[in-house]
Amino acid sequence: MPHVSSPAIMLRATEHGDYDKIITFFTLKRGKISLIAKGAKKSIKRFGGVLELFSVLNLVWSFGRGRGLPILQEASMVHPFEQIRTNITWTAYASYWCELVYAWMEQGQRQDSAYRLLEHTLDQLNCGSRSEHALHITFQLRFMTISGFRPGIDHCNICRTPLERFGRSAVAFDVRRGGVLCEKCATQEAGPLYLSKGTVKLLRWILNAPLERLNRLRFSRQAIEESLRMLEAFVPYYLGKETKSLKFLKQLDSRLPSVNHGCWQ
């Protein structure tokens, strides 16, 4: 019975029978995997209380001879991120980021950059060193890019005019086309969102800067509100649904706007 080990972030747990749990992790070496944790519901000694959502663990699991799920053999804590679970709003943010990973990543697909992004963002949230709004914007932008849906914000997505040559300070963003439109092309499309040029340039910096340098970013209130409005429309459109955790998050955080596709500034 071969054994595999990897660092992992716990994404989701469901009950399985009277004693067991099925737990989905995002692992560094094997991507998203679902493991069966024998006796996890009834025995405190089995895994020592380390199976907590958002935690970074070192896992050991094995594959049986049949077609059943791999079996979790060992789990040791690396980073518990316990501060997140003391704050209901932080818990809602972390739940949403983990749900995005759960919904988007294919089973068994290794994705180092997505793993590092999730671990870094959870660590920043746990430390309280950056606002949850800034982390929320940064995570979604970088995760969408890793997943192959980078927003087109360098030039008009119809005529290819560079952003620097746009004539107006309010820049149209078309969710269906996945990027910005110049003032001429925006008149041909129904109901784009509008962002300031400054917000678009900030988002472009987030997409291109090294992850460790993002800690220096400071968002204005306008940049936060515009960015959140754009992402609330953009991410569910390409995911194909609005996640349950996002709906709950919007109930908790009044600064997460409801989508309005009209012109606003």
Q: Where are the domains of the chain?
A: 3-129, 138-252
Average pLDDT for residues 16-20, to the nearest whole number? 83
Report the C-alpha gap between 230 and 181 in whole angstroms. Answer: 14
Mean pLDDT lowest among 21-25, 97-101, 148-152, 241-245 = 241-245
Instruction: Write down the CATH number for the domain with range 3-129.
Output: 2.40.50.140
Residue 163: CB atoms within 10 Å: 16
> Is 77's pLDDT higher than 50?
yes
Q: Work out the pLDDT band at 260, boundaries 50, 70, 90.
A: very low
Beta strands in the chain (DSSP E): 3-16, 20-27, 31-37, 56-62, 71-79, 170-174, 179-181, 193-196
C-alpha 233 chain-centroid distance: 15
Question: For residue 95, what are the CA distances in angstroms to 10, 90, 99, 113, 200?
Answer: 11, 8, 6, 19, 27
Share the mean pLDDT of the chain. Answer: 87
> Is 202's pLDDT higher than 50?
yes
Q: Work out the pLDDT band at 190, boundaries 50, 70, 90.
A: low
Cβ atoms 56, 26 nearer than 8 A: no
Predicted pLDDT at 256: 60
3-state SS assignment for residue 137: helix
Cβ atoms 38, 47 nearer than 8 A: no
Average pLDDT for residues 11-29, to the nearest whole number? 91
In single-letter form, the type of residue at position 160 comes to R
Cβ atoms 194, 170 nearer than 8 A: yes
Predicted pLDDT at 255: 56
